[in-house]
Structure formats: structure tokens, C-alpha cells
Amino acid sequence: MNKIQDIQQFLQDENLDAALITTPDNVFYVSGFKSEPHERLLGVMVFKEAEPFVICPLMEVPDLKASGWNFEAVGHQDTEDAWEVLAAAARKRNVSLEKIAIEKSHLTVERMERMEELFEGVTISRIDEKLNSLRNIKSEDELIKLRKAAELADYAIEVGCKEIAEGKTELEILMAIEFEMKGKGAEKMSFDTMVLSGPKTASPHGKPGSRKIQKGDFILFDLGVVYEGYCSDITRTVAFGEPSEKQREIYETVRKAEQAAIDLVRPGVKARELDKVARDVITEAGYGEYFTHRLGHGLGISVHEFPSITGTNDLELQEGMVFTIEPGIYNPEITGVRIEDDVVVTADGVEVLTKFPKELKIIEA
């Protein structure tokens, strides 16, 4: 239970008595228990010098234990005040509870006020940054899951390509992909699957609909799956029928930009340098105004997490960081193209998790 020790070390270093962690993704990270409590109370409470506990709805206690949680499991029923139950479990430990860390970017004002009431005179501080920095560096165990999630995403693109046919709608292709993924053991898609065709490829946040595939379309797939709690996120853009010269030029520009960023990944390089090297390729090709978003985002338990790969982030890459690299050109007159891979920073370079080929795939129309 390494992660508990990491939190306890933080409490030592900061001279705090306890931490209450309530973001579902962070609860999963620290305890191994994945649950979506909606409005109910779910949390893991870690003490500087006492046994931690997870508090969750009573009916979920069996799932909590099945997830491998070996410390106390505190269940609360709908007829109880969950915060009273939490406070009782904490007080039972007979340790000081004067300084408690919470996730200030997650806990609501109402819940903090409840804590201030229950732990009279408590001083509340932040644990957000500590959790982010722990989650920023993936363990080998986490990488195994991320590799598997990426492998499923590769396969999803393969399924999508096979489904492409004249007259089929974006939604039909999307459904075929998601159906196949559920059969393959993906818990769920990591976000709403995107299948966009023709002019819709030029809309980075477009929604799949009943548009029918036609000859000359580019088709953009952006999707990912959750595997054992970890996310993948891949984008590929393929051609249906022979592409025009301009379409090819845009595709090859994005491909070159993406590769340039991948080639630069290694410990010590700054996040913003990745964004710049990709953006420079696109700008030099004359398409700078059509690359309208950041280069990438961190990936792990959440599909968007730290680090953010933007043009202003001075963060130095470290071994074990995992993020996407996903430049795009969105030219409504010609086509949109985005290519996205998931990468890990290794001791001396990069491991690319998603492996679906990136030469322009032309599907016979």
C-alpha cells in the first residue's frame, strides 16, 4: 500500500494530522477502489499515525473489500448522517485532528463547513498539488494498464476503418466500434467517441450524427477506452477514396508535426517545447491559424489530467509521465486532420503506447 505511505509522508513533512480525499479518481488512486458515489459520501481518510479508512455507502462495502482494500471499511446508510459516521471513525483513532488536508479544488463549501463543525477548531489545508504530482509519475503497474488500454484503442480504429463504406452514417460506424469494444473487455469508452466525416472533420469539438460517408471524405476517429481504471485516447484520420493534393498536404503536415514532438520527448525537455516544435512545423507549412488547441494533455485514471502540454507550460518532463500528443489542422475549405498518440517519458526517451499506423490510409471507395 505504497500510496498510503506517500500520503503519510506528506502529512509528516507538512506537519498535518490527516487527509480526507474525496475525488473519485483520487480515491481510486490511493485506495484501489473505483466508485461513482454521485451525491453520497465517498472518501479515503489517511492519518499521520493511525490506520486509514475508506468511507462509502454501506452497500458498496463488499465491492470495496473485493478491490483489495485491507484497512478499515466504514459503511454509511442513507438513513444516517454520513459525516457523523466519518467523524466517529476518525475520532475512534484517538489522534490529533487539528490539521486536516483536503482537495480544495474538489470539496464543496458545504462539505468543508460540515468538517469545520464536526472537527471543532480544525485548520483546513490543501493536498491537491501533492496528489497531482504523485499521479503525474506512473508506476510500472499503471503502465501495464495504460498499454492495454492503448492496445484496445488501436483495435477500435481498426474496427472503425473496416466499417467505413459509402452511405453509412457516422453514428452507425461509432456504434459498431463501441459494440466491439464492450465485447473486448473495455469497461467503457473514456469519453464520447468521435467519428466525423467530410467537412465535419474541421470542427475539433464536432458531434457524430447522421451524415453519410461519401467518396472524397476524410474520416476522423477520436476515441479511447477505460481498462482496469486507466484511459487511452487516440485519433486517426483516414481517407475514403483518393485524396486531393491539398488534403494530402494537410495530412502530411500534421503527421510531420506529431512525429517532431514525439521525437523530442525525453526527461528534462519542457512541456512547452513539445508544443512549439509541432506548432512550428504547422506554421511553416502555412497552416498555423488552423491549429487552434494545445498539443496534448496528461492521461491516466482521468482522460484529462496533468501534465498539460501547452505553449506556456514550463514543466520539465520526467520519466513516467504519460500524455497525449495531438496536433491538428482544421481547414473548413479543405479538411480537418488530427493525429494523436499516447506517450510515456522513459529514462532516455519515449515509448509510444498507441501503435496504429500513421501513413495516410486510403480506403477504397
Rounded least distance, CB 208 to its own copies, Å: 8
As a whole number of Å, the end-to-end CA separation of the chain is 54
Residue from 304, 355, 358, 361 that binds its own copies (CB under 8 A)?
A: 304
Residue 104 as a binder of its own copies (CB under 8 A): the answer is yes
Residue 122 as a binder of its own copies (CB under 8 A): the answer is no
The residues near 120 (Cβ < 8 Å, ≥ 6 apart) are: none
Which DSSP string do the residues of 238-300 spell out, in sequence order?
EEESPPPHHHHHHHHHHHHHHHHHHHH-STT-BHHHHHHHHHHHHHHTT-GGG--S-SEEE-S
Rounded least distance, CB 298 to its own copies, Å: 13
Region near its own copies per CB under 8 A, out of 27-35, 171-179, 247-255, 315-323:
171-179
Residue 123 as a binder of its own copies (CB under 8 A): the answer is no
Q: Are 181 and 262 in contact (CB under 8 A)?
A: no
CA-wise closest residue to 280 among 252, 309, 258: 258
Residue 38 as a binder of its own copies (CB under 8 A): the answer is yes
Residue from 66, 79, 314, 359 that binds its own copies (CB under 8 A)?
A: 79
Region near its own copies per CB under 8 A, out of 170-178, 238-246, 318-326, 344-352:
170-178
Residue from 64, 86, 102, 274 that binds its own copies (CB under 8 A)?
A: 102
For 125, the enclosing helix (H) or strand (E) is strand 123-126
Rounded least distance, CB 294 to its own copies, Å: 8
Residue 108 as a binder of its own copies (CB under 8 A): the answer is yes
Residue 175 as a binder of its own copies (CB under 8 A): the answer is yes
Q: Are strands 43-47 and 50-57 parallel, antiparallel or unpaired?
A: antiparallel
Which is nearer to its own copies, 109 or 347 (by Cβ)? 109
Angle at 161 between CA 345 and CA 364, to 5 degrees: 130
What is the spatial distance between Cα 25 and Cα 33, in angstroms, rounded to a whole number? Answer: 9
Which is nearer to its own copies, 106 or 276 (by Cβ)? 106
Q: How far is CA 216 from the centre of its chain?
A: 33
> Cell 473514456 appears where?
190
Rounded least distance, CB 84 to its own copies, Å: 17
> Cell 488512486 appears where?
29
Which is nearer to its own copies, 154 or 187 (by Cβ)? 187
Residue from 1, 112, 137, 262 that binds its own copies (CB under 8 A)?
A: 112
Which residues between 179 and 218 bind its own copies (CB under 8 A)? Answer: 179, 182-183, 209-210
Residue 94 as a binder of its own copies (CB under 8 A): the answer is no
Q: How large is the angle between the packed helices 245-264 and 271-284, nearest 10 degrees?
A: 160
Q: Which residues bind its own copies (CB under 8 A)?
A: 38, 79, 102, 104-110, 112-113, 124, 128, 171-172, 175, 178-179, 182-183, 209-210, 304, 312
